[in-house]
A and B are shown apart, each in its own frame.
Chain A
């Protein structure tokens, strides 16, 4: 049985590689029973998303307010 520590390891590695079928099943089973790890799983997605936004320069402190610079379809 997967414990929380190992489950978090798999959730991190899931962002790096495709989990094996066995790993994926074990993880899913664990997540069904563990709300803490379910939250962790969602947070891994948020962390990646936040990092991508930050790396686009959209987020850092001292940023000027966003000025929806969408292409006007030129």
Chain B
């Protein structure tokens, strides 16, 4: 056991976490979940995670700490997912996306005939969203809410907000128009915020 640790020593010892099976197992599971959500294909997700991990391991020594490594490995994974999504366009799997006509839905339950919030649907103030980030419970709710979105909406939302692709790129990949994209993102956000509010931020009895 090394007792006095210098800065570079510390850097080395902290990347020992990569040889820590508990850390790697948890990280892997989390990456798989993330990739599967977006690719909706377990095999592709598995491959992407594997490649990202191997890629990140090559530079493992340059990371000070598990958190830095994790950020890096997720950045690689996001790129891989972006690549796969782009390839799908070439394979014209995108047409499959087009045919998922689950988008037709009305928002009568959210808005009244004049387009105003139904009284029990009016968004409430969220207390401390930053605080929520620190609890695992919250992220489980977050994932559950993503799972509840219609799959096309979820995919477009994740391309936009997780992979951070811009609108023209998403439209090209998914084979949809900008206005379709905007409609889908709007719906996804309406649903997500409603779900998060009901399941987390304002759970229990609502005021007014």
Contact = CB atoms under 8 A, between A and B. Distances in A.
Interface of A: 3-6, 8-9, 12-13, 15-17, 35-37, 39-40, 42-44, 46-64, 66-74
Given A40-B123, A62-B136, A47 B26 contact: no
B40 interface: no
Interface string B42-58: 00000000000000000
A52 B161 contact: yes
Interface stretch (B84-92, B94-102, B137-145): B137-145
B115 A6 contact: yes
A62 B34 CA distance: 12
Interface of B: 7-8, 10-11, 14, 22-23, 26-27, 29-31, 33-34, 63-71, 73-75, 77-78, 107, 110-111, 114-117, 122-126, 129, 132-134, 136, 138-140, 142-143, 160-164, 167, 181-182, 185-186, 189-190, 192-193, 196-197
A36 B140 contact: no
B66 A67 contact: yes
Contacts, number: 160
B193 A40 contact: yes
Contact of B167 (A6, A17, A62, A64): A17
Contacts of B190: 8, 12
A4 B181 CA distance: 20
Contacts of A69: 14, 63-69
13 contacts: A40-B193, A43-B126, A44-B193, A46-B126, A47-B189, A51-B161, A57-B34, A60-B30, A60-B34, A61-B143, A63-B139, A64-B22, A69-B67
Of listed A6, A53, A61, A63, residue having the most chain B CB within 10 A: A61
Contacts of B7: 72-74
B66 A64 contact: yes
A55 B70 CA distance: 11
